Amino acid sequence: MRVIVFGLGKFYENRKEQFWSYPDVDLVAYTDNNMCLWGKMLDGIEVVSPEEALQITYDTILIMSTYAEEIYKQLTKMGVEDSRIKYWETFCAEQVSGTKTIYTGKSDDKRVKDKILVITTDLNYDGGSLAAIYATLALKNRGYNASLAAPAGDERLIAETTDKGISIYICPSLPYIYYKEEIWIKQFDMVLVNVFQMIQSVVKTRLFCPTLWWIHEPVGMFHYTRARHWNRVCAKDLDNIGIYAVSRIPRRNFNSYYPERIQQILNYGIPDMKSDDLISGQKKEKIIFAVIGRVGERKAQDIFCKAVRNMRLKELAEFWIIGHYGQDSYSEEICRMSNETESAKMMGLLTREEIYSIFPQIDVVVCTSREDPLPIVMTEGMMFGKVCITTDNTGTADFIQEGENGFIIPSENADALRERMEWILNNKDKLDGIGQKARKTYEKYFTMEVFGENLESALVETKKQWHLEKGEK
């Protein structure tokens, strides 16, 4: 394959080793919009202008830049055929098509009902991955032969998941379904595609297999995915698919691009970890408030830090920030803000088991997200019988009655959060009652039994409609 690489910035620098590892790639030219690079030699190959690059015989122009969408538009205006332009993600998937690693779950895979494949993004400790794991587990609990597939995965999470009896396929070429992937997937009776990002999987699998698409993402991921894929997906490509959203948030986001396409809500469920110790915890002098989730602007840990900074009575409490934080400027700012408050503590990334082990110590679970479809940590908080504070731009807010089983604050409002936390410090005797009602909310809406029943109903309806539209009984 004769390839022109477009882009020589940090994006390329961070990935060039991987690029050069692909054996069937013949690099014929470099190009970049930076005129200062034109005429220079890199790896023994000349850097030319985009106009000069198009005069060279090539098969593919590979975009390796953070400005991928802008470069794509530039190339199409220059007359380059869409089929000859590749994003980095697509290019990599093509190079590893058909490559799979199988981690076998430690359970009896005796088939009782349909064989179902759950496809998701990289397995890590975020909400989308956990929802996919719980969906697979719920299906196995109802007698289905269910397995999980992802492009990559965290080794710790893979181990935790296989210990639950779930088999995992690591298929690097996902979400793209090529011929080898199609042959593999056809062994399954149904496919559940877990997130909006896997749109390419949905478009392909629905042609040969009943497919349920379960949407979880916040609006930012819709913008990113749409820029990469949506322009290549027409209306008819989404026919013959059962589409559900985990809450009103992703339903709103999806329908803003595709009006009225999603009507159905399918909440996830989580395993019940309750015990008397986990629910009641130990009485102690200080109230512990915890915000749990990857440190980032969407999760809005800055709002939590601002609220804590201005609180009265904060000497009566501790404030925990749990979740992965990187070297980016936002993470650095959150670390700085937390260090300014003696009672605040950055605890870093913890596994689910580690989080569960410290839940008895937590009194109040706080979600400050600017947008969050249905944060799993809030559902876990209700499951453990903890007081929950969430913003109004989350799916969780739909299940909270203010002051009864939790609290709702306006998004981006640090003062409102501060007031709720101060009220809690002044009304410690009311916390157990609120926590008990939160627990009842979990039991009504989020158990694995409720989830399994609702998920099975969605799958049965999807399969029925798929066969009807195919003209089959």
For residue 141, what is the DSSP state?
A: H
Band (pLDDT 50/70/90 cuts) for residue 233 is low
Q: What is the pLDDT of residues 344-376, one digit of tens each?
A: 889 988 888 899 999 999 999 999 999 999 999
* Res. 1: pLDDT tops 70: yes
**How many distinct helices (H) and strands (E) make up the chain?**
18, 20
* Res. 111: pLDDT tops 80: no
Strand arrangement, sheet containing 145-150 = 101-103, 168-170, 145-150, 115-119, 190-193, 211-215, 242-245, 264-265
The DSSP secondary structure of 307-349, one letter per residue, reads: HHHT-SSGGGEEEEEES---SSHHHHHHHHHHHTSTTEEEEE-
**Residue 148 CA, distance from chain mean position:** 15
* Res. 226: pLDDT tops 70: no
Is 393:372 a contact under the CB 8 Å cutoff?
A: yes
For residue 23, what are the contacts with CB-CB under 8 A and spacing of at least 6? Answer: none
**Residue 27 CA, distance from chain mean position:** 34
Q: What is the pLDDT of residues 146-166, one digit of tens each?
A: 999 999 999 999 999 999 999
Domain ranges of the chain: 2-95, 101-265, 276-446
How far is it, in rounded angstroms, from Cα 242 to Cα 465?
A: 8
The single-letter code of the amino acid at 94 is E
The DSSP secondary structure of 223-290, one letter per residue, reads: HHHHHHHGGG--GGGGTT-EEEESSHHHHHHHHHHSTT---EE----------HHHHH----SSEEEE
The single-letter code of the amino acid at 214 is W
For residue 119, what is the DSSP state?
A: E
Q: What is the pLDDT of residue 35?
A: 94
Give the residue carrying structure tokens 């986001």.
Answer: 253
* Res. 473: pLDDT tops 80: no
Q: What is the pLDDT of residues 261-286, one digit of tens each?
A: 888 999 999 999 876 554 444 456 79
Q: What is the pLDDT of residue 275?
A: 66
Is 293:377 a contact under the CB 8 Å cutoff?
A: yes
Is 326:332 a contact under the CB 8 Å cutoff?
A: no
Query: Residue 79: phi, psi to the nearest 5?
Result: 95, 10
Right CATH for 2-95 from 3.40.50.300, 3.40.50.150, 3.40.640.10, 3.40.50.720:
3.40.50.720
Q: What is the pLDDT of residue 283?
A: 54
Tokens of residue 9, six digits: 């910035």
- Axis-axis angle for helices 219-229, 248-257 (nearest 10): 30
Q: What is the pLDDT of residues 322-337, one digit of tens each?
A: 998 887 899 999 999 9
Q: What is the pLDDT of residue 279?
A: 46
Percent of the chain predicted with pLDDT > 90: 67
Q: What is the pLDDT of residues 47-101, one digit of tens each?
A: 999 999 999 999 999 999 988 889 999 999 999 998 899 989 889 888 888 888 9
Mean pLDDT of the residues in the chain = 90
Residue 410, preceding peptide bond in cis (omega within 30° of 0): no
Tokens of residue 350, six digits: 């913890």
The pTM of the full predicted model, rounded to 2 decimals, is: 0.84
* For residues 170-179, average pLDDT: 90
* Res. 434: pLDDT tops 70: yes
For the chain, the C-alpha Rg in angstroms (whole number) is 24
Give the residue carrying structure tokens 């220059």.
Answer: 78
Q: What is the pLDDT of residue 425?
A: 95
Q: Which contacts (CB < 8 Å, 24+ apart) does range 162-166 have?
A: 162/103, 162/104, 162/105, 162/106, 163/105, 163/106, 164/105, 164/133, 164/137, 165/105, 165/106, 165/107, 165/137, 165/140, 166/105, 166/107, 166/133, 166/136, 166/137, 166/140
Q: What is the pLDDT of residue 350?
A: 87
Q: How many residues does the chain have?
A: 473
Residue 471: how many other CB atoms lie within 10 Å: 6
The fold for domain 276-446 equals: Rossmann fold (3.40.50)
Tokens of residue 271, six digits: 């395993």
Q: Which of 149, 163, 66 is nearest to 115 (CA)?
A: 149
Is 429:440 a contact under the CB 8 Å cutoff?
A: no
Poorest-pLDDT segment among 219-233, 238-252, 309-323, 352-366 = 219-233
Q: What is the pLDDT of residue 269?
A: 97
* Res. 106: pLDDT tops 80: no
How far is it, in rounded angstroms, from Cα 332 to Cα 336?
A: 6
Architecture of domain 101-265: 3-Layer(aba) Sandwich (3.40)
Tokens of residue 401, six digits: 């009655």
Q: What is the pLDDT of residue 105?
A: 85
Q: What is the pLDDT of residue 281?
A: 46
The single-letter code of the amino acid at 189 is D
Percent of the chain predicted with pLDDT > 70: 94
How far is it, in rounded angstroms, from Cα 372 to Cα 146?
A: 28
Give the three-class secondary structure for 136.
Answer: helix
Q: What is the pLDDT of residue 227?
A: 65
Task: Look at strands 26-31 and 60-63 and give their pairing.
Answer: unpaired
Helix ranges (H only) for 21-176 are 50-53, 68-77, 88-95, 127-141, 155-162
Query: What is the sign of the dihedral through the CA atoms of 121, 124, 126 and 129?
Result: positive
Q: What is the pLDDT of residue 376?
A: 94
